[in-house]
């Protein structure tokens, strides 16, 4: 009798492993979409009423497609377990409306179960599901919870509309009475099953990468433009783009989200299939230093040295994992009401950019500074590319940035390993 019970237990465990995708031929997983996670600030958190019996529908825009997918849930900054009673995916009817095509609604499983509990500080993968998705297509993810803690993990700068509604609405065709927010919660990425030579490029940055100034629900950040261009070239159609930008993020200090080095392992090294990294970060370190008061030249030089040291750390750590590292020069920002950069600050930016451009540091360089600066006033953004705040590009600026990146950096002949 004991042997029979043992066999039944082993059989049950084997069934769970098969449901989770173990035991099959090795699948090549590549990240198709990602969002950097942080602790939601009070102004970006769910309301007190939404902490109980609520459904959340979020729409994301994939870069590459595949016949199977799996979803990354995140409770990275939660202080208590996150229990979701159901997680569903579907194809949106109209991304900005919250409506889905109910015929495409599928429940995700987690070790064969429909509900999932994500431990505090953890991320959780769904079981793989056969759900063909096309490159550059939208995907709706809907979750329901009975009760959650007040601290939420998420991404405030979604530039996409999410929908919150009371009750279990995971399969609802429409979210008509929902509250709309431009935030993502509890959701860090989507992987797709891909060809063995497929790969992903991570864009690590601040609000300029996150897309401040982009159009809500239009997917016109510079990373979106790059993803579209990659799909238009037969040599790069298997290259995904993962946007790991956080508005207000810095290299050296925590602010909005952990500093770039603190999140490097999670946002750059951990995603599936990463072979290239674009680094566009440092303007907030320089700008916030200027906002803090007057400083000596020696203090400015020390700041620049620390920024360059942070870049060197990223390059060394990425190379250890066979990842090509591309440096992007910092855009001009004189005229910004937020930072009020003066001559000393502008000298810091120029010094950093000169290091980025110098051969022997990054594997390649994207000169966003040269592309976006006003030829007559090179310390300022070109007016036709300026969102109006003299710090962030407009949609036209993001189009120019994404359009200027050489696709040869990511094709079969790229220096990525």
Q: Which residues make beta-bridge pairs with 140? A: 59, 90
* Alpha carbon distance 412, 277 (integer Å): 16
Angstrom distances, CA of residue 95 to CA of 7, 24, 140: 48, 34, 8
* Alpha carbon distance 322, 199 (integer Å): 12
* Alpha carbon distance 81, 90 (integer Å): 26
CA dihedral 6, 8, 12, 14 (to 10 degrees): 70
At residue 25, the pLDDT reads: 61
CB atoms within 10 A of CB 139: 23
Closest CA to 121 of 76, 81, 153, 82: 76
At residue 317, the pLDDT reads: 98
Task: Render each residue's pLDDT in the chain as its tens digit; 417 residues.
Answer: 444 444 434 334 334 444 444 445 689 999 999 999 999 988 899 999 999 999 999 999 999 999 999 999 999 999 999 999 999 999 999 877 899 999 999 999 999 999 999 999 999 999 999 999 999 999 999 999 999 999 999 999 999 999 999 999 999 999 877 899 999 999 999 999 999 999 999 999 999 999 999 999 999 999 999 999 999 999 999 999 999 999 999 999 998 899 999 999 999 999 999 999 999 999 999 999 998 888 999 999 999 999 999 999 999 999 999 999 999 999 999 999 999 889 999 999 999 999 999 999 999 999 999 999 999 999 999 999 999 999 999 999 999 999 999 999 997 544 433
* Alpha carbon distance 248, 208 (integer Å): 9
CB-based contact 191:69 (threshold 8 Å): yes
At residue 416, the pLDDT reads: 38
At residue 306, the pLDDT reads: 98
* Alpha carbon distance 398, 400 (integer Å): 5
Characterize the bridge pairing of strands 162-166 and 179-181: antiparallel
At residue 304, the pLDDT reads: 98
At residue 5, the pLDDT reads: 45
226: Cβ contacts below 8 Å, ≥ 6 apart: 201, 203, 241, 402, 405
60: Cβ contacts below 8 Å, ≥ 6 apart: 33, 35, 138, 139, 141, 160, 184, 187, 190
* Alpha carbon distance 177, 334 (integer Å): 44
At residue 2, the pLDDT reads: 44
Q: Which residues make beta-bridge pairs with 243? A: 203
Closest CA to 141 of 122, 121, 158: 158
* Alpha carbon distance 136, 105 (integer Å): 19
CB atoms within 10 A of CB 240: 32
The pTM of this model reads: 0.92
């Amino acid at each position: 009798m004991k042997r029979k019970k043992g066999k039944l237990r082993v059989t049950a465990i084997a069934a769970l492993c098969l449901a989770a995708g173990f035991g099959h031929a090795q699948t090549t997983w590549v990240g198709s979409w990602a969002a950097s996670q942080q602790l939601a600030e009070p102004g970006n958190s769910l309301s007190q009423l939404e902490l109980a019996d609520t459904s959340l529908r979020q729409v994301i825009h994939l870069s590459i497609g595949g016949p199977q997918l799996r979803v990354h849930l995140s409770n990275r900054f939660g202080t208590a377990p996150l229990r979701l009673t159901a997680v569903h995916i579907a194809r949106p009817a109209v991304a900005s409306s919250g409506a889905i095509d109910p015929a495409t609604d599928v429940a995700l499983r987690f070790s064969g179960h429909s509900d999932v509990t994500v431990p505090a500080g953890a991320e959780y993968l769904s079981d793989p599901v056969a759900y063909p998705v096309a490159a550059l297509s939208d995907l709706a993810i809907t979750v329901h919870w009975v009760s959650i803690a007040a601290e939420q993990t998420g991404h405030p700068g979604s530039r996409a509309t999410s929908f919150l509604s009371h009750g279990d609405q995971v399969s609802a065709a429409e979210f008509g009475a929902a509250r709309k927010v431009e935030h993502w919660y509890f959701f860090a990425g989507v992987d797709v099953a891909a060809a063995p030579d497929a790969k992903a490029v991570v864009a690590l940055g601040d609000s300029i990468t996150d897309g401040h100034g982009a159009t809500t629900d239009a997917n016109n950040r510079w990373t979106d433009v790059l993803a579209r261009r990659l799909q238009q070239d037969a040599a790069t159609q298997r290259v995904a783009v993962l946007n790991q930008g956080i508005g207000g993020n810095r290299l050296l200090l925590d602010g909005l989200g952990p500093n770039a080095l603190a999140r490097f392992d999670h946002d750059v090294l951990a995603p599936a299939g990463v072979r290239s990294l674009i680094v566009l970060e440092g303007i907030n370190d320089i700008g916030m230093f200027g906002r803090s008061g007057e400083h000596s030249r020696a203090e400015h030089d020390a700041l620049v040295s620390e920024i360059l040291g942070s870049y060197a750390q990223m390059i060394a750590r990425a190379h250890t994992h066979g990842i090509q590292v591309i440096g992007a020069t910092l855009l001009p920002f004189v005229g910004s009401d937020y930072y009020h950069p003066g001559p000393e600050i502008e000298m810091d930016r120029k010094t950093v950019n000169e290091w980025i451009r110098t051969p022997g540091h990054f594997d390649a360089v994207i000169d966003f500074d040269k592309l976006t600066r006003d030829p007559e006033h090179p310390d300022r953004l070109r007016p036709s590319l300026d969102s109006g705040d003299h710090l962030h590009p407009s949609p036209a600026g993001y189009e120019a940035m994404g359009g200027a990146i050489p696709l040869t950096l990511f094709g079969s002949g790229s220096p990525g390993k």
